[in-house]
Chain A
Amino acid sequence: MNELAITVIGPDRTGIIADVSEALAGVGANLSDSTMTRLRGHFAMTLICNGPAAEDVEKALAPLTGLLATVRAVAPEADADVAGEPYLVSVHGADRLGIVAAVTRVVAAAGGNITDLTTRLTGPLYVLIAEVEVPSGGADTLAARLALAADELGVDVTLRRAESDVL
């Protein structure tokens, strides 16, 4: 079974998802995981599909005018091991160059694996929220290093456990 990584981006309008997913369904591409969101008036889609060959999907998406699409074959997911404990990093402060680079470098240096990250700029305020798998017992060290980095950037940072309760 072919696994495909697909990105689509274009100016936001009504019906983008319907158009793209219909084109995918038309060539038998089954959409497994996806995130889709509007970023500054552009609609962005990141999709993992399986089924057809990459060329067939490219052909199916080509007629969708105004959208920039990329399709590439990827190796199917291996069963991921649980890499650590789930944490949330929140950063907010005045916008400046290099916040994402500095914060994510600190996380990576501590062995933390980012599994989801969103940034938003609203007016002068920059916000970064990341989900991170932190190696067992490494949270205190990471929190201290993040605090140092945040100090240098002049932003506020918090690291907190993302606890889920089983009901």
Chain B
Amino acid sequence: MSDALADWKPDVLGVDGKVLPVVTAPASVLSTVGADVDPLDPEVVQLAADLVATMRVSPGCVGLAAPQVGVGARVFAVDVTQHPKTATNHGTFVLCNARVVEASRWRPGREGCMSVPDLTGDVKRASRLVVEAVLPGTGEAVLLTTDAFEARALQHEIDHCDGKLFLDRVAGAHAVYQRKVYL
């Protein structure tokens, strides 16, 4: 099943992505549990392409979930290729209906989010992760095993699909900070 992910590229979707505006908290869509989607539905395929397009034009963005463009659905794009903390790396991909199957080796890290532009927070995430999902456009099931920064990005995006922000996961009362550096 992992080969399905290796073969998957955004052009598999066969549609051009549009750049969509990114929604910021406290928009209610960011707190809404996303609905499971049909990965072959043309609207889902278009959404997947739109997420990739929007992620690509946003500086420093390594992941973008449907609620962040105002759609309460379990779809997100990830691409950690350029990030220095990346170890295992699956390139650019979009997952539908993703769920964490296994999580271990929890590590703290400071996260920011395009939907919470003025704050960052310390969040513990699993650095070893197994996720099951289906691919948009092909509908193939994948079991994705990853680590380090890609694992963090996947957990952050899956949280978005569950209506959670990093603010729902911070390590303590003093673990939220004014962001001091803008990309």
The interface size bin for chain B is 20 to 34
Q: Are B183 and A165 in contact (CB under 8 A)?
A: no
> B182's contact among A37, A82, A131, A133, by CB below 8 Å, is which?
A82
Residues of chain A lying within 8 A (CB to CB) of residue B180: 82-86, 115, 133
Q: Are A165 and B149 in contact (CB under 8 A)?
A: yes
**Cα–Cα, bound, A35→B177 (Å):** 12
Q: Tell me if B114 counts as interface (CB < 8 A to partner A).
A: yes
> B110's contact among A37, A118, A133, A162, by CB below 8 Å, is which?
A162
**Cα–Cα, bound, A122→B182 (Å):** 37
A120 smallest CB distance to B (angstroms): 12
Q: Are A166 and B110 in contact (CB under 8 A)?
A: no
Give the nearest-CB partner of B58 in chain A.
A166
The interface size bin for chain A is 10 to 19
Residues of chain A lying within 8 A (CB to CB) of residue B111: 164-167
Given A118-B174, A131-B177, A162-B110, is A167 in contact with B152 using a C-beta cutoff of 8 Å?
A: yes
Q: Which one of B38-46, B60-68, B138-146 contacts A?
A: B60-68
Residues of chain A lying within 8 A (CB to CB) of residue B9: none
Q: DSSP class of A's interface residues: helix, strand, loop or mixed?
A: strand
> B181's contact among A35, A118, A164, by CB below 8 Å, is which?
A164
Q: Are A167 and B181 in contact (CB under 8 A)?
A: no
Q: Are B181 and A85 in contact (CB under 8 A)?
A: yes
Q: Are A167 and B112 in contact (CB under 8 A)?
A: yes
Residues of chain A lying within 8 A (CB to CB) of residue B157: 167
- Subset of 11 A-B contacts with CB under 8 Å: A35-B174, A82-B180, A82-B182, A115-B178, A116-B174, A165-B62, A165-B85, A165-B149, A166-B61, A166-B62, A167-B62
Q: Which residues of B contact A (CB under 8 A)?
A: 60-63, 83, 85, 109-114, 120, 149, 152-153, 156-157, 166, 173-174, 177-183
Q: Which residues of A contact B (CB under 8 A)?
A: 35, 37, 82-86, 115-116, 118, 131, 133, 162-167
